Amino acid sequence: MREERPYWNTNVARHAGILRAAAPGMSYREVREAAGRVLPGVRYRWHVLRRYSLTWRKP
């Protein structure tokens, strides 16, 4: 019987141009602190898959 493997663990995935993400240059905390200094009143929202967004409205 053939072993089932996840898609990302196959040769197809390696040749399909799927790349690994680079390590982030700043942590979430560092981004939040920097944004708070530069953009007073910025809103910081978390999203799925370790993503986030910053929303700022000009006063």
Q: Establish if 14 belongs to a structural domain.
A: no
Residue pLDDT, tens place only, 7-39? 555 555 555 566 666 677 888 899 899 999 999
Q: Establish if 55 belongs to a structural domain.
A: yes
**Has this prediction a pTM greater than 0.75?**
no
Closest CA to 44 of 28, 26, 24, 27: 28
Looking at residue 25, its amino acid is G
Domains in the chain, number:
1
Structural domain boundaries enclosing 28:
23-59
User: Residue 34 in 3-state DSSP?
Assistant: helix
pLDDT for 13 equals 54
Classify residue 46 by burial, with Cβ atoms within 10 Å: 0-12, 13-18, 19+.
Answer: exposed
Q: Which residues of 27-40 are buried (b: 16+ CB within 10 A; e: fewer)?
A: eeeeeeeeeeeeee
